Structure 1
Amino acid sequence: MARDAPGPADGRPPRDPGLQPERTRLAWRRTALASTVVTVLVVRLAPADGRFGAVLAGLAIVTWGAVLAVCWRRGTGTGPAPSGGRSLPLAALGTASLAVLGVLLVLHGLR
């Protein structure tokens, strides 16, 4: 028996390929937004800590720039990863770095 429409053999409708790229773009944009918020908080709290705070703020800005570049490239396109599949590890490393900088700032402020 021939089938007219392509799809799975169990009778389910075929997957809509348009939804996955949109969800992926939105996830990258949320990652960029979250890293922006964390960076703004670190920069806002950093001046109270003098030179240590300035160094943390500088590192946060540099890390934020790298995360934003990765998120921008992945969040505006629908094709394959432009960096050969390294986007997710780079974004994760940047996010973890921002978390460590925030923790250092808080711990330094508790002394």
Structure 2
Amino acid sequence: MSTAEPRDPGLQPERTRLAWRRTTLSFTVVAVLAARQVVHHEDVSAGDVVALALSALVWLGFLSVAHRRIGAMAAERPPGAMPLGQAIAATLCALALAAFAVAIVW
């Protein structure tokens, strides 16, 4: 008869929550800099405005993924790994924001 001790996650959930908050802050700074680039550009094209609007949508999508992950880490027994769908969504958001930023600068 084995009496397995419950897993003590220690400070790992807190570190993960803080990492997601820093990542969200960095993502927000990039989105704001993209908006600033469009606003201060002399001849704004329709492509710039579309890229800015899509950047805002991607930013909101990333905030949603980050909020879910931060909430999951606040649980009494936080999950170990991020669900694959959320990981893919976060990766796609980062790649999309980078592509839209290049489109704005180009």
Structure showing greater relative contact order (alpha-carbon pairs closer than 8 Å, 6 or more residues apart): 2
Specify the alignment match of 2:85 in structure 1. 86
Counterpart of 1:46? 38
Which has the greater radius of gyration?
A: 1
Which ranges of 4 or more aligned residues in structure 1 deviate by more than 2 Å?
47-50
2:104 alignment partner AA: L
Percent of aligned positions that are identical? 41
Query: Deviation string for 1:36-84 (max 9, x for gaps)?
Result: 1111111111243231211011000000000000001111332338x84
* Equivalence for 2:10: 18
Distance 2:56 2:87 in 1: 19
- The alignment of Structure 1 onto Structure 2 pairs a total of residues equal to 93
* Structure 1 residue 85: Cα displacement: 3.1
TM-align CA RMSD = 2.2
Q: Where does structure 1 lack aligned partners over 5 or more consecutive residues?
A: 1-5, 7-14
* Structure 1 CA distance for aligned equivalents of residues 14 and 70 of structure 2: 9
CA distance in 2, matches of 1:50, 1:104: 11
Q: Where does structure 2 lack aligned partners over 5 or more consecutive residues?
A: none
* Aligned 1:56-67 pairs, distance under 5 A: 56-67=51-62
